[in-house]
Structure 1
Amino acid sequence: MKIIDAHVHLVQCIAGTGAGGELRSCGEGRGMYADGSVCRLLPPGWGDQATPERILQTMDDNGVERAVLLQGGYLGFQNLYSWQAQQKWPGRFLAAGAYDPYSRGRDGIVRHLFEELGMRVVKFEVSTGSGLMATHPVFGLDGEVMEREAAFADEHGLVFVIDIGKLGSPSSQIGALRRLIRRHAGMKFVVCHLLAPKHSEMEEMTAGLEALAGPNVWFDLASLQHNVRPDAPPYPVTRRFIARAVETVGAGRLLFGTDAPQNLCQFRYGDLVATIAEDPALAPEQKERILRQNALEVFWGG
């Protein structure tokens, strides 16, 4: 079975920004925030980069045909690096553009990324940990700032990918996101991390999925194993959340994603694939939808 990973990151250099300030490499795949806190970002042996070649090798080792290259504040924006990878391997990578809409030169940024370079996907991480609400005051997802960005994306035919952070956090504004989505009914939206529920938040996740469900909305499953921990292969807890999502929005609305490379610090890529590919509760056509066909339709129109 061919696979598309709808949530991957390249890292030319660790250049993140979050609630703890700037995040920079402190060696061996780890990063240190300005507040002194340290986190592991890359698997042992990877050094301080996740190069296209390294990601391609990981994809080839696990039967992954294509990957969508997303970006966010955690690892830092990698627009040029991601675009260059797409240009060199157009059959394997699709790069999303990312930017801070509060930038004074915002107009020039979006013109360059989406009109001059021709990027077809835009990604916003708005979480309070490492997204826009980590470095800016909390704002409404249906307010002036995000409406401007959604309108631009809609006018330019972009796929709009958004990470709203953990369920229950100030950035997890289900109602506001629903209003934004409904105002742009002709644009494709992808909401990351299945709303990022904890293991105790099955019902809250379900309510959120029900509120956001629509013909132009999909949800990626990246980091679900991490978010609903404790769990272990074959990830029965994760599978229960996926089953509920299938029941709520349908298998046709779910996208496989790994959030590589960081999740490879604690999970085997093959186990992330097997969570879906070997799930006895999913029919073969549902697995095909989640692992490949949905992403092909959303991002490549095929």
Structure 2
Amino acid sequence: MQIIDAHAHLWLHQDTEVNGMKIKTLENGRSLFMGEIRQMVPPFIIDGRNTAEIFLSNMDYAQVSAAVITQEYIDGLQNDYLREVQNKYPNRFLCCGMVDARVPGYLKHGEELIKQGFGALKLPAGRLIMSDKRVWLTCDEMMQLFRLMEQNDVLFSVDLADGNEQVAEMEEIIKEFPKLRIAIGHFGMVTQPNWLDQIRLARHPNVRIESGGITWLFNSEFYPFKGAVKAIKEAAGEVGIEKLMWGSDYPRTITAITYRMSYDFVLKTDELSQEEKEAFLGKNAASFYGFTDLVELPYIKNMSE
């Protein structure tokens, strides 16, 4: 089985602001995060640099062949670093560019990112309803950006606000741009009310759902995340297992669990068939994102074995 992570993050440092609140890398894996200190990455990453090389070491150990690197406003725009990563490791990563849609004029920046070779753009859409002035996903500038992306076959990676807050907007986008590939993250914010409304968007041919952050959302129940497995089954019943993809939300999730544990609970459950596990953990993502020539990674025994 070849495994693909459809939702992970990389950065060299965090130094940004969201809704007037600072986010900044400190030391020992901690960050100042909106008024409090949080363990942003594992404490052994003492300089807070969440690099591609550290992630590749985790991927090789966990036998994950490739990953989609998304972005989030809480990390700041990481386009320059991710362009370097994409060029250096083209068979291991698909890196998403990101514009700051909270500030008018982002269409031009999106054009530049596409010209630079980004094959996907990410939008943390849930953040757009939290600002002083809501940015609608269907506003003129946004729709021009989606048209440009569709014309250039640039994938749209998006994390929506909880529940069905932005579902109607997404329906309009999907109708207007039926060839725009869309990956919806965080498994529809599965632990929140009306999460299945987001999942049902994948009934459209060009839409997929990825599970980045599902272990965070079910953190209170912890491993083996039986609630997450149940949710995967329920979503598959709504749209088909072929529309669902695994994502880890690395590295924030591995402050609580290991990287392997972020998918191991799927491998070990009896609630999914072998064919469903292979589709969810890799085959669906390989087809949707266009990964080819995936590396074969051997299992390395632990010293404790």
On the 8 A contact 1:225/1:231 being kept in 2, the answer is no
Secondary structure of the residue that 2:4 maps to in structure 1?
A: strand
Distance in 1 (alpha carbons) for counterparts of 2:201 and 2:3: 29
2:42 paired residue number = 43
Aligned partner (choices 135, 139, 148) of residue 135 of structure 2: 139
Give the CA RMSD over aligned residues. 1.9
What percent identity do the matched residue pairs reach?
A: 23
- 2:291 is the counterpart of 1:294: no
1:166 paired residue number = 162
1:231 paired residue number = 221
2:18 paired residue number = 18
Q: After superposition, where does 1:62-211 map in structure 2 within 5 Å?
A: 62-103=62-103, 106-115=106-115, 117-127=116-126, 131-135=127-131, 137-167=133-163, 172-198=165-191, 201=193, 204-211=194-201
Distance in 2 (alpha carbons) for counterparts of 1:275 and 1:58: 17
Q: After superposition, where does 1:223-302 map in structure 2 within 5 Å?
A: 223-300=213-290
1:50 deviates by: 0.7
Deviations 1:60-113 (A, max 9, x none): 010000011111101111111111111111111111110113545535422321
Distance in 2 (alpha carbons) for counterparts of 1:42 and 1:238: 23
On the 8 A contact 2:210/2:246 being kept in 1, the answer is yes
Structure 2 stretches lacking a partner, 5+ long = 293-305
Distance in 2 (alpha carbons) for counterparts of 1:177 and 1:132: 14
Call closer, same or farther: CA 1:280–1:75 in 2, change over 3 Å.
same
1:210 deviates by: 2.4
Call closer, same or farther: CA 1:21–1:282 in 2, change over 3 Å.
same
Amino acid at match of 1:18: V
- TM-score by length of structure 2 reads 0.89
1:32 paired residue number = 32
Secondary structure of the residue that 1:269 maps to in structure 2?
A: coil
Call closer, same or farther: CA 1:229–1:263 in 2, change over 3 Å.
closer
1:235 deviates by: 1.0
1:8 paired residue number = 8
Deviations 1:158-212 (A, max 9, x none): 11111113226xxx311111111121111110000111132x64xx222332255
1:221 paired residue number = 211
2:297 paired residue number = none
1:61 paired residue number = 61
Amino acid at match of 1:177: M
On the 8 A contact 2:202/2:243 being kept in 1, the answer is no
Structure 1 stretches lacking a partner, 5+ long = none
Distance in 2 (alpha carbons) for counterparts of 1:206 and 1:103: 31
Which deviates further from its counterpart, 134-143 or 63-72? 134-143
On the 8 A contact 1:101/1:145 being kept in 2, the answer is no
**Number of positions where the alignment pairs a residue of Structure 1 with one of Structure 2:** 291
On the 8 A contact 1:16/1:76 being kept in 2, the answer is yes
On the 8 A contact 1:101/1:149 being kept in 2, the answer is no
Distance in 2 (alpha carbons) for counterparts of 1:17 and 1:43: 22
On the 8 A contact 2:9/2:249 being kept in 1, the answer is yes
1:259 deviates by: 0.6
1:250 deviates by: 0.9
